[in-house]
Amino acid sequence: MTHYAHLKTTLKLTALCTLLGFSLPNHAEAKGKLVVYCSVQNTTCEKVSQAFSKKYNVETQFVRHSTGTVLGKLKAEKDNPQADVWYGGTFEPHLQARDAGLLATYRSPEQKNIMPQFKKLVEQRGDTTSIIYLMELGIGVNEKSLSEKNITKPQCYADLLKPEFKDLVQYPDPRVSGTGYSILSTLIEIMGEDKAFDYLKALNKNINQYTKSGMATNNLSTGSTAVNMSFMHAYVREKDKGAPVVGILPCEGIGYTLGAASIIKNGRNLENAKRFIDFVLSAEAQEIPWREADSYQLPTNIHAKAHPNLPDPMKLKLIDIDFIRFGADQEAKRLIDRWMKEVKGE
């Protein structure tokens, strides 16, 4: 292509982009490809990938896997990575990938807009991993079911130990559910480890099911369970669909988990991966899940708006969680082994 023909094509593309309402990338290298391992809901993967592709003229593909599956793939593909970036999933497995030497170093300038509560964590681990969303833990109840049983709604974790909740509580199994492990680590931070396990042993008497996923809130919506322990945004979504479900922030303190994004070491498209990390840290990208994908995680960018039925993330009284401790492979294995032995009796 001659210089004149190339210029003509560029001008046509610029005019088309202006007409469609998006801009050309600022740098000439903002083209080519990007492959994303995605660990959020499929629709969110699709919408975020499309928005990035459109904005930066990058051919973007995503492959949706659970957090644990992606971590396994990164280990298996260490010498020949098949993706460039890991988007979504809880923070702790990203830390495990870091410890295994599977992540590239990149500290995005957009990290300056992450909520100040996480400044220390960003300083410690932000060279490989960025915090992109927040999910606060709560107690979900089916109001209709509790009303029929004449049971007062719980306001605290301690309330779930009352005898009237026997066989009414659903808890995600921490062996297979990141949500279940987040609840376990939250209780440890609130009560101390030994008292947390005493609590879980007592709670076991009221459990009707240990689910394989923290997102198994359908049982709560239908009334097949009256109480569920999971993330608040799941209860808001079920309520929006018309279920008699409400989420309660426990009186002892608000635990939570963080969603993360990291660049995969030795990926083929490093510059586009950096650009993608910058993008998912932006307020624009962090509003896509709830605006377009029926996914209600709270944004961590201080300039992003949250779903109107969720609390302002800046006003939440969050407990301190040692993500580095709970994100360590050895510590996670120890705590889950203790849970299996002392709570489940296995």
DSSP 170-229: EEE-TTT-HHHHHHHHHHHHHH-HHHHHHHHHHHGGGEEEEES-TT--HHHHHTSSSEEE
Q: Pick from 159, 115, 158: which is nearest to 318 by CA? A: 115
Residue the block writes with tokens 């009334």: 223
**28 pLDDT higher than 60:** no
Q: How far is CA 226 from the centre of its chain?
A: 25
CA distance 125 to 105: 10
CA distance 68 to 90: 10
- Decide if 102 contacts 78 (C-beta within 8 A): yes
**4 pLDDT higher than 50:** no
- Dump pLDDT digits (tens) for 223-272: 999 999 998 988 988 898 899 999 999 999 999 999 999 999 999 999 99
**Residue 116 per-residue DSSP state:** G
DSSP for 129-147? EEEEEEEEEEEEEEHHHHH
Element (H, E) at 260: strand 256-263
Name which residue leads in pLDDT, 213 or 11.
213
32 band by pLDDT with thresholds 50, 70 and 90: very high
- Dump pLDDT digits (tens) for 56-65: 999 999 999 8
Q: What pLDDT does 144 receive?
A: 96
12 band by pLDDT with thresholds 50, 70 and 90: very low
**Please, which residues bridge with residue 257 across strands?**
135
**21 pLDDT higher than 60:** no
Residues of the chain with CATH 3.40.190.10: 33-134+257-310, 135-255+335-344
Residue the block writes with tokens 């509580």: 169
| Cβ within 8 Å of residue 306, ≥6 positions away | 290, 298, 299, 312, 313
**196 pLDDT higher than 50:** yes
CA distance 270 to 268: 6
**2 pLDDT higher than 80:** no
Over residues 36-45, the mean pLDDT reads 94
- Dump pLDDT digits (tens) for 63-94: 998 888 899 999 999 999 999 999 998 898 89
- Decide if 288 contacts 69 (C-beta within 8 A): no
Burial of 109 (0-12, 13-18, 19+ CB in 10 A): exposed
Radius of gyration of the chain (CA): 22
Name which residue leads in pLDDT, 188 or 27.
188
**27 pLDDT higher than 70:** no
Residue the block writes with tokens 């740098």: 27
**25 pLDDT higher than 70:** no
- Dump pLDDT digits (tens) for 148-189: 999 999 999 999 999 999 999 999 888 877 788 889 999 999
pLDDT above 70 covers what percent of the chain? Answer: 90
The dotted CATH code for 135-255+335-344 is 3.40.190.10
Whole-number mean pLDDT of the chain? 88
CA distance 314 to 304: 11
Name which residue leads in pLDDT, 256 or 12.
256
Q: Pick from 272, 300, 275, 274: which is nearest to 286 by CA? A: 300
Q: How far is CA 228 from the centre of its chain?
A: 19
Over residues 219-224, the mean pLDDT reads 89
Structural domain 33-134+257-310, CATH architecture: 3-Layer(aba) Sandwich (3.40)
Output the CA–CA distances (angstroms, integers) from residue 275 to 84, 208, 267, 299, in the order listed: 11, 46, 14, 19
Strands 85-90, 33-38: pairing is parallel
- Dump pLDDT digits (tens) for 110-163: 999 999 999 999 999 999 999 999 999 999 999 999 999 999 999 999 999 999
Q: What pLDDT does 233 receive?
A: 86
**37 pLDDT higher than 70:** yes
